[in-house]
Structure 1
Amino acid sequence: MTSFANALLAWFDRHGRHDLPWQHPRDAYRVWLSEIMLQQTQVATVIPYFQRFVTRLPGLRELADAEEDVVLALWSGLGYYRRARFLHKAAQLCVERHNGQLPSDFDALAALPGIGRSTAGAILAQAYGLRYPILDGNVKRVLTRFHGIFGHPGEREVEKQLWLRADEHTPAARTADYTQAIMDLGATLCVRSRPLCAACPVAGDCVAQRDNLTTQLPTPKPGKAIPTRSTVMLVLRDAEGRVLLQRRGPQGVWSGLWSLPEAEDTDGAWREAQLKARIEDAQSLTPFVHVFSHYRLQIQPLLFDNAAPAHAIADNADLRWSAIADLSALGLPAPVRSLLLALPEPAAP
């Protein structure tokens, strides 16, 4: 076992996180679910989503049998919804091919949708105790600083170096604890800004600490201007207070989620509204911006009250009138859900 792993495990025994909900029990399903949820999302945010998810879908077979709307509703607010669809599809494949279990073979596990090399390693290490390295964002930051590796960690050659270092440090014994320990170190001490080097168990051998490089490592991704797009969201509300929802197509952001009909501008919004309902007037609601990883979306909501549903909607599986109280059962993008829950009360007739 390397001195790095020894120091890290000793620190973990005293200061690591031992009471995360997916650790009790630490089975393959719960580890897998937590790893997918934790991608680009912090632990504090994930915990309530994880607990709600496993209460409703406690095992892999329950997930495989669930309707997609149920899965997306449980995921709603976590973002990056493709993760939820991959999770659902992978569970169904496990039922079809692996007797309802996540396989303990690396190649079979990594072949499932949404499970890459690092996620497969985390599952095998934590759930099955097998020696496989991991390389999530926290681990990349720790190893980049410890070894003084320059270059953006997403670049192929840099990532190759990091995988070699990750494998070098991963011990054959206590692999599950080591995997949690290095993730904890990156999440609690070796953080992006103002790392707590004085409390770090490996600071004495860390290149970034020695050479005062913690603000420079990891090397940032080359900057790129984020474009801004705009859309008009149609809030068609009928006399009963129901709103018209439209399921988004399979491509683009929020794919497969229930959202609101959209148009490029106000004139287009009126034309779109008239195709879906009989309308009289519209009220402009407060515009807002939602930021995705690759662009900003300027949203102008337009409220059409007392809309009379068009007959054709009943025959369209991708359109539905929904009461506000029923939104929790549907997979909606977080900003759309917030918009609908904050709608003004209908004007008195």
Structure 2
Amino acid sequence: MAVPPTGSPPADPAVLRRMIFGLWTTRSLYVAAELGVADQLASGPRSCEELAAACGADSSALYRVLRALSGLGLFTETDPRHFALAPLGEYLRSNVPGSMRAFIRMMGASWHWRTFEGILSSVRTGQPTTEGMGGQSLYSFLGQNPEQEQLFDQAMTSFSSVEHEAIRQAWDFTTSGTLVDVGGGRGHLLAELLGAHPGLRGILFDRPSVVAGARDAIRERGLDGRCERVGGDFFESVPSGGDAYLIKYVLHNWDDARVSAILQSCRRAMKPSARLLLVEQLVQPGNAPDPVRLLDVEMLVLVGGRERTEEEFRGLLAASGFSLVRVVNTRLPLSIVEAAPV
């Protein structure tokens, strides 16, 4: 039997059991999100029989899932077999600020769930697994499955939307005449920054199929006149002449060689006075609980990417023609790594 270090409290196996039971929690959350239970409760408490009829479920089975989730603070059983939303459960609703419904649905989708079954193979080989995606990479799979691609986009948007204000508050974007959002997707973050800074202009850069979409956040907020859309491949080149280049949650999708290719594309496009802003979660030293370490495992399995430490970013930047100027922490577990061309 392992002996704890002198002075350490005894280990509690119940803590390990709760970790193991996380499987049950995740799958129960997925059921509630997929069925849209929280949306059905938005106007007030309802009986389990009413919910089951509205959601297309068996009332007895649904009751058991909602009872379990009530014990986790998502719902409240107000009367026997009648449920209301608890404050935490509000985030299971659609189209509310901070909604996590799309993210939960994506995490529980069969392709994602089955892909994570390949974690043992990923750890043995160091390569991502395509289990659940028909042998394809993530982005090839999504490109051929529009419904899942839309859900993925919604999930990423909901996951990151709460971070936009924190990013805006952490760095002075008023000094950036033209901001190039590299891999900016549908433009939600860029729209937030343009809306907050009337003197700022933007370039939304992503794959042609992404920026060619008929609807995006730029257009929805009436910011077309201050933003250009450019399609391309950031491994080859990015638009030149920007005053700042923003890359959020892109580099963690790729291994070091591919990250270097993206950084070198930016370096070739940048004038000496420009700044590079990498928005990522940094892996911190020590043994304190850190969700980004679990995200790192997700990136390994799903795409072969990784989360990185400040020193790892420093090395990648130096090898690609940049110096790390500073790391700006936001009010969330998210950092802006600022770099300058050398």
TM-score (norm 2): 0.24
Higher-Rg structure is 1
Of structures 1 and 2, the one with the larger relative CO (CA 8 A, separation 6+) is 1
TM-score (norm 1): 0.24
